[in-house]
Structure 1
Amino acid sequence: MSHEKDSSGPGKLPRPVYERELYRLQIELVKLQEWVRAEGARLVVVFEGRDAAGKGSTIKRVTELLNPRVARIVALPQPTERERSQWYFQRYVEHLPAAGEVVLLDRSWYNRAGVERVMGFCTMEEHQRFLRQCPIFERMLVEDGILLRKYWFSVSDAVQEQRLRRRLEDPTRRWKLSALDVESISHWEAYSRAKDEMFIHTDISEAPWYVVESDNKRRARLNMIAHLLSTVPYEEVTWPAIELPRRPPATGYQRPPRDLQTYVPDHASELCE
């Protein structure tokens, strides 16, 4: 059973309308996927925003019907000691797509401009160096032919706190709540200032930021996916003609007796008793 609640307020989207349009957009995402594969394109989609802004649930809807061999999610853990000694962008480079691949970054190199900056996990010098190098790095990606799209999910303080509280109370979401998530409440203004400074330096014409209003998750998902589709010049790829062969006649195969194999207990039948 889904525990998702759509935010109240103007423009609340009825679930049937949402699900119908989501499915239509997911069909288009499949077409986009096949175009990427056929054309050998490389697509990178960056998902950033505050904690509980709806990034993860949107990524889930984007990839739900896609081929995981083509579209993969990259969500890197904290860097190791070795990675901390590398050029900052180095560990992200190895996850960039090859021809015919889509990479969705569930948080990205922008960690340095957000949580690392606010929580003191990097020095001021490292932060300033990031702001200088990031536009250069992204221009290099775009110049090399990578399709780079960057989305910032914007959520209000009240809705963020509401979602964090639901995570605390819901055993299926408790794993999503970390100590840093909790601290984000008391560092709200610091994160706002860090985000504003980040936009000043990295909202470049070659790779602009697109802001997704995400107090209402359903609307945010539809808006983000529809926008992504509108920015990529994909075309529908013709599927190769496939005809299922006729099943050949039986040749005397006998299935082994059931008692020779170990079956999973029929838990479902107990629910009907």
Structure 2
Amino acid sequence: MTKRPEGRLSRAVYERELFRLQGELVKLQEWVRAEGVRVVVVFEGRDAAGKGSTIKRVTEYLNPRVARIVALPAPTERERTQWYFQRYTAHLPAAGEIVLMDRSWYNRAGVERVMGFCTKDEYWRFLRQCPDFERMLVEDGILLRKYWFSVSDSVQDQRFRSRLEDPMRRWKLSPMDLESITRWEEYSRAKDEMLARTDTPESPWYVVESDDKRRARINMIAHLLSTVPYREIPPPLLDLPPRPEASSYRRPPRDLQNYVPDHASELPQGDD
């Protein structure tokens, strides 16, 4: 049993360890690309639990052509008639790719179940099929990791209020988020049922305590790295070629092109 974290991680310790872990993520990326590995990381959890901010730190120094984020909108009318997992399979990685799923097929076990966006038959069919679906992914060689970000009701409320008062982050607060406040216990029951039925030896769930976002990011990234047998791939030897001497090229007059105004020159100058 993992001990519940206590206290907030200091910024200095957090930033130092985060940067070190991000360096390891770059090594992981290069190993994935060189070895043709396929990785899927599922991020699920309560609203305002810190999934998005963790994904942002994971991808900060990664090549978007290798590591891409999948955050699907609500299904279209056509997609509603498909096999439930069908629209997700289109986003699975090819060789040398990492896919980070900002919510996933588990929408059916959470928001769709609680909000009545699916029928009871569809819900129970999902819980029966999901372990088999994930088993097929793993048997085909995909490295699948699933993280549930857990946040207390009091901290979630604080984060909702912070978003409500911050014009730069108010867009992150949706009517669906507000609905999750009044349906806290329903979401809790749905989460418990989901974990009980889809936490399998082939594809286990890992819970991330996220009342402290700094600690949650560090813990999740460190755990992900510990579960993948990557190794450092020596980078190719590169050497900048000498720049050739200018010959007959002449740059067109500047007044023939449109330049953005120098807004920066109008700003008050402070000490560097």
TM-score after normalising by structure 1: 0.95
Are positions 1:163 and 2:163 aligned together?
no
Q: Which residue of 1 aligns with 2:73?
A: 77
Provide the rounded CA distance (Å) in 2 between the counterparts of 1:20 and 1:269.
34
Provide the rounded CA distance (Å) in 2 between the counterparts of 1:31 and 1:84.
39
Are positions 1:244 and 2:237 aligned together?
no
Q: Which residue of 1 aligns with 2:180?
A: 184
Structure 1 counterpart of 2:76, which letter? T
List gaps (5 residues or longer) in structure 2.
Answer: none
The structure 2 residue matched to 1:204, chosen from 190, 200, 204, is 200
Q: Which residue of 1 aligns with 2:228?
A: 232
The structure 2 residue matched to 1:53, chosen from 40, 49, 53, is 49
Provide the rounded CA distance (Å) in 2 between the counterparts of 1:266 and 1:165.
38
List gaps (5 residues or longer) in structure 1.
Answer: 1-8
**Alpha-carbon shift at residue 84 of structure 1 (Å):** 0.5
The structure 2 residue matched to 1:96, chosen from 87, 92, 106, is 92
Answer with 17-26 or 207-216: which moved more.
17-26
Answer with 65-74 or 256-265: which moved more.
256-265
For this pair of structures, how many residues does the alignment match? 265
Q: Which residue of 1 aligns with 2:139?
A: 143
Over 6 Å off, 4+ runs:
none
Provide the rounded CA distance (Å) in 1 between the counterparts of 2:117 and 2:212.
31
**Deviations 1:11-52 (CA, angstroms, capped at 9, x unpaired):** 322212211111111110010001001110000000000100
Structure 2 counterpart of 1:123, which letter? T
- Over the aligned positions, Cα root-mean-square deviation in angstroms equals 1.1
TM-score after normalising by structure 2: 0.95
**Alpha-carbon shift at residue 254 of structure 1 (Å):** 2.8
Q: Which residue of 1 aligns with 2:128?
A: 132
**Deviations 1:158-201 (CA, angstroms, capped at 9, x unpaired):** 11011111111111111111110000000000000000000110
Structure 1 counterpart of 2:187, which letter? Y
**Alpha-carbon shift at residue 252 of structure 1 (Å):** 4.3
Provide the rounded CA distance (Å) in 2 between the counterparts of 1:10 and 1:147.
31
Identity %: 79
